Amino acid sequence: MPLALTTVFADVPDPRIETANKLHKLTDILVIATCAVIAGADGWEEIAEYGSYNFV
């Protein structure tokens, strides 16, 4: 049975520093980036566009 992407990425340690600018969970970022690449995104700008269009 396939695992949900959130489950796959759940145990990845987040190396980011705790600040007020840390607005999103690492798992969410990884899932959005993975979905964007599967959908054909080619680079961070297209991943950001995909994320803002599909998950806002």
Q: Give just the sign of the alpha carbon dihedral 27, 55, 46, 37.
A: positive
Question: Are the C-beta atoms of 53 and 39 separated by less than 8 Å?
Answer: no
In this structure, which amino acid lies at residue 47?
A: I
- pLDDT tens-place string over residues 1-25: 778 989 999 999 999 999 988 888 9
User: Which pTM does this prediction carry?
Assistant: 0.80
Largest CA distance in the chain: 38
Sequence-ordered alpha helix ranges (H) in 1-56: 5-9, 26-38, 44-54
Q: What is the pLDDT of residues 25-52, one digit of tens each?
A: 999 999 999 999 999 999 999 999 999 8
Give the pLDDT confidence score for residue 26 in this predicted structure: 94
Give the C-alpha distances (Å, rounded to integers) separating 18 from 24, 29, 31: 11, 16, 20
